[in-house]
Structures are given as structure tokens and as C-alpha cells.
Chains A and B, each alone.
Chain A
């Protein structure tokens, strides 16, 4: 993943379009991955997770894709809405039983009305 301390990459998407946010993770032994959404001035909120024995998981308007070969995680948001504007973080779990997550730098998503 990206080094912490770097400024956030940004992504702007037209309302109603689909968005894809990407994340490169660092540890090939990580077995659990999470996407969080953080709105301005608030704490991060859980969106969706995926275990390493899966390559795709769908939620309501969100899909997470996992490519273990290249250590890549993506979050797809369908039919974006203004309320989707936020910072999105990926997090990886080194191995089952170790609760300390490693967070990616985050991506700021802006939905254009």
C-alpha cells in the first residue's frame, strides 16, 4: 500500500455513474480486507469486507474485488449519489487472530451533481 503521510489521491465522478477505487496492499499473507468510508469530520464506517478465499463480494451498490496475484483490492460503487462523497480507506488484516489492521492512504471521492 501507499505510505502513510502522503496526501490523498482524489477521484471525481458524475452523479449516477459508477466509480472504482483502487488499493494496493502490502502483505501477501493478509487474509482479510475491509473498505471504510469516512465523511468529513467523522470516524470511518465499515462498508464491506472480503476474506482471502474469495475474489468478489457484493453489497448494496458496492462490490469489492480481490486480486491476490497482484495484491490489489478495488471498491466499485454503482450509481453514485452525492452522499457517496467521502474518503475511502482499504485495510488489510495480516492473519486471522491479529486484530491490528494496516490502512491504506485513502482516496477522496467527490460526486459531481
Chain B
């Protein structure tokens, strides 16, 4: 089955540590996205990539970094510079042509 996989589902991090969230898709989608969702709130765009080796900042990129070395993979690193990283992180992908996004099942990050 084609899909988009995020791992891990739950992640705990100590303050001051960097952590990387994985996102892999086998849908042959060109574009990939990372969103942050806080409890009871909507989706905020962190970073997106429309092609391999290229990515752009979204609305809340500070304290985050990404890479897009392969079409299938778009990992997100939450750095120690992110002041309030506890949130639910969603990865999505899409084809060129406007058919909407396919979302992963999310990673819940908690800073302890």
C-alpha cells in the first residue's frame, strides 16, 4: 500500500537537545510539508519542499531545520533553539497539479 509514514509516534526530548522526526512517503509525490499543531488549534506550516534538494520556510520555521536529499524522505529536526517544541507534528505530501495533501499519522513530541 502506498502511503506516508511518520516515526516515531511519540517522542520525548530533554530540554536543550535536538531531535529528528522522520517522514517517508512511497507515493512518488514531489512535494512534502511539515506542520505543527498545538492542542485545540489549527495547522501551522513549518517548512515545505517542492523538489529534491530544495525547501522553503513556512510561517514558523524558527528553531527547526529540514533536508530533502531523497524524494521519499523529508526529516524535520527540532533544535534546542525552538523555545516551545511540545506539539503534534504532521508531515504531508502532494503531487504536482493540486490534488490536495496526503497526511501522515503524526508524531507527538513532548519536552521533559
A residues whose Cβ falls under 8 Å from a Cβ of B: 2, 4-8, 31-32, 34, 36, 41-46, 49, 89, 91, 93, 96-101, 103-106, 108
Contact = CB atoms under 8 A, between A and B. Distances in A.
Contacts of A49: 100
Given A43-B90, A43-B105, A89 B42 contact: yes
Interface in B87-105: 88, 90, 92, 94-98, 100-105
Interface in B55-112: 59, 88, 90, 92, 94-98, 100-106, 108
A96 B96 CA distance: 9
B105 A42 contact: yes
A103 B41 CA distance: 11
Given A5-B44, A104-B42, A43 B98 contact: no
Interface of B: 6, 31, 33, 38, 40-45, 48, 50, 59, 88, 90, 92, 94-98, 100-106, 108
9 closest A-B pairs by CB:
A43-B103, A105-B42, A99-B94, A34-B100, A99-B31, A103-B43, A4-B42, A106-B42, A43-B105
A101 B98 CA distance: 9
Contacts of B105: 42-43
A43 B104 contact: yes
Given A97-B96, A97-B97, A98-B98, A42 B106 contact: yes
Contacts of B100: 32, 34, 46, 49, 91, 93, 101
Contacts of A99: 31, 50, 94-98, 101
A8 B41 contact: yes
